[in-house]
Amino acid sequence: MGNKRKLYSTVLASIVSVFMLLTLISAIASAAEETRLSVETGEVGEPAIYGDKVVWPYWDKIHLYDLKARNDTIISMPGPYYAAYPAIHGDKIVWFFYNMYNPKDGYGLYVYDITTSEILITKNVSDWTYPDIYGNRFVWTENGNIYMYDISTNIQTQIPINESASNPVIYDNKIVWVGQRLNDIAIDKNNNSMSRSDIYMYDLSTKKETRISTSGRASNPAIYGDRIVWPDSRNLDFGTGMGDIYMYDLSTEKESRISYSERSSSPPAIYGDRIVWCDWHNNIYMYDLSTQKETQITTSGSAMGPDIYGDIIVDVDFREGLPTGDGYLCDIYMYNLTAKSIKPQAVFTSNVTSGNAPLTVLFTDISNGEAPTSWYWDFGDGIHSKHAMNATHTFTKPGNYTISLTVENAAGNSTATKPDYIVVTDSNAPVADFNSNVTEGYAPLTVQFNDFSQKVASRAWDFNNDGKADSGDINPIYTYATPGIYTVNLTVSNENGTDSKTATINVLEPSGSSGSSSSSSKSSSSGGGGSPEPARNVQVKEISQAFITNGKPAKFDFTKNATCVVYIGFGSKRTFGKTTTIAEQLKGKSALVSELPSGETYRSFNIWVGNGGIATSKNIENPVVCFKVEKSWITDKNIDPVSIAINRYNDKKWEQFPVSLSGEDNQFLYLTAKTSGFSSFAITGTAKASSNETVTRVELDYPETINENNKKNKDSQTEQKEIQSTSGFEIYCGVISLFAIFLYKKM
């Protein structure tokens, strides 16, 4: 892997070079044949390749894929340990392992022999590290120091360096790393300053250290032969971008700038004359030193972490999307640069898919594969359009129209068809729409349906998909007594037509029913989406995505309001790119904790950040959780609002953190707490001692949010000489107390 750059002595030379490079940049590549290597979509890590072997981590496993045999070998980790950052050379693999649930249990390195299928070395280390291997030597860092282990001699050596090191790589007798020297500061054009980070090299044969870069903004090097590549943000103000790829040639002692987008977001990789990297938009680019051409390899907008060997590029890709409850879904893909001609795969979209007649629609070709040379559109109404890449068509009559697009080039053709893709309606026709208060639950399940249809003269509800109308009410209630999956159909009509909408209700077997069984297999008992929580414990989950960049705050908002979690945030010490966070609201106590904390428990929930190992003190700081608590719970349980706290289960014990009031509405209090990290949580409160004392009537200026709920009762309250102490009053006082504490902490 590597980065590339060119350093010129004059401004004129730079301008000329940029112009020459831009004229050489090729169109989006279609000469690379794409193949998916991973069988099951899941949370996988970045791959590495050597020869015909590809390796990648998947939680507690390492996958070893043989490109010739098309065989995937799984190397399993023992106990609660998880694998990360594999590197491969020859017949040996090295990777880092850690205990996800108890970081104090330590870290370590494994070295695996492909030929014998045996673990050669198990080595404990004291720090999170990214190992690399070449031949019988592998390198890593601990506490800023570089260590090398020779497998053939079983001798460990500390490399004598003059700076704090990270991200070491090795090729033959050369070790390259990112180094930071004490009190060595870099300053940008706006006089912003930060610690310098440069590329250094140590030659094992000469025992000499050499400083490779001097920009102070370098990171994540890679080396092949005499060429060292890395990302460098020297051309940007600090914090405004990811930078470009640069290269240093040891044989000529010259530095070159390879990319000019200022948006290279991943460590590069290098093999021979080819350098690959990922840009800000999650697409892979390749630069060929022999032809001086840059080529865009992918267009998915979901690629990360490329590596290259010979004519093969591998990467991790999250194109499968993020369906609710499934977490951050990734796959491993391979691109063969020797492939010549690939037929296009027809894909299209449109600016609208429904509306009243006459409806004008713009259809856009977004086909994959090699670019088409011809297009044929069929609009489903007897009208066709040829040779137009993008087409505009007007549908004059109501109806459902099936659209198809056929694309073709020298390699062949393909057709994409979307049945009933365009729905054209009469402006006076009814529109069916409804929702329900629940879509899943245990039998017997009572469901409240709400009709939001428009222009309705009559309606018919079919709750169990038997073709018979069960109700004509606007907002009916129906009870499902038997477990099963039911299709609900609402049909609405008026003199201008009929419309229908369907939804699914999943009625579960009661939890106490016989016939259920648990499995020790992680894939069958897990909550899914990277969660170690058993699925049977999860009431509801929601996911959120954000881009994590070193030195910038990260915030994950849960906008669907599916759980009690409103958002989480933290400061990032490293760049992880696009990351998914999962919030799981549980039915009761988490299976990951031994017991609940003391007090009344409002909710138990889990928060999982990324693909494991991200949310540690080495990677994040100042973690914050914002959550909401129902006022009805405070009233029903007679909870003292000041006692509400959030508890985190960490290192086999509960930690309690105070909360600050951040807002409220008619239903919820919104509270924020600084925590020690993210894992399993419980929201608790303490019930107040019961009291029957009366209080003299008090004249209150009710806050607006409370006043709406109490407006009808306020007149009767003012007529009484004495009133019983009420839960609403206590909530108000508790909120005032919380707000006072919040202001005190701000001062």
pLDDT tens digits, 33-75:
889 998 877 778 899 999 999 999 998 899 999 999 999 999 9
Phi, psi for residue 456 in degrees, rounded to 5: -105, 130
Give one word for 267, left, alpha or beta, with left for phi > 0 and alpha for psi -120 to 50.
Answer: beta
Yes or no: is domain 5-336 CATH 3.40.50.261?
no
462 beta partners: 489
Contacts of 153 (CB under 8 A, 6+ apart): none
Query: What span, in angstroms and rounded, lies between the C-alpha atoms of 186 and 52?
Result: 42
Q: Domain residue spans in the chain?
A: 5-336, 348-425, 434-508, 534-747
Residue 14 pLDDT > 80? no
Of 492, 232, 706, 741, give the one whose Cα is nearest residue 717: 706
SS3 string of 4-23? Answer: CEECCCCHHHHHHHHHHHHH
- Average per-residue pLDDT in the chain? 83
Greater confidence (148 vs 294) lies with 148
Greater confidence (445 vs 191) lies with 445
Q: Which long-range contacts (CB under 8 A, 24 or more apart) does 141-146 make?
A: 141/165, 141/166, 141/167, 141/168, 141/177, 146/175, 146/177, 146/202
Of 263, 296, 268, 297, give the one whose Cα is nearest residue 279: 263
In the prediction, which pLDDT does 579 show?
Answer: 85
Query: What span, in angstroms and rounded, lies between the C-alpha atoms of 698 and 662?
Result: 27
Summarised one tens digit per residue, pLDDT across range 554-600 is 999 999 999 999 999 999 998 878 888 999 999 999 999 999 999 99
Greater confidence (48 vs 536) lies with 48
135-147 average pLDDT score? 96
* Residue labelled with tokens 């040996």: 92
The model carries a pTM of 0.48
Q: For domain 434-508, give the fold.
A: Immunoglobulin-like (2.60.40)
CATH of 348-425, one of 3.30.230.10, 3.40.30.10, 2.60.40.10, 3.30.70.260: 2.60.40.10
**Domain 348-425 matches domain 434-508 at the CATH topology level:** yes
Summarised one tens digit per residue, pLDDT across range 496-527 is 889 999 999 998 886 444 333 333 323 222 33
Candidate from 120-129, 303-312, 344-353, 732-741 with smallest mean pLDDT: 732-741
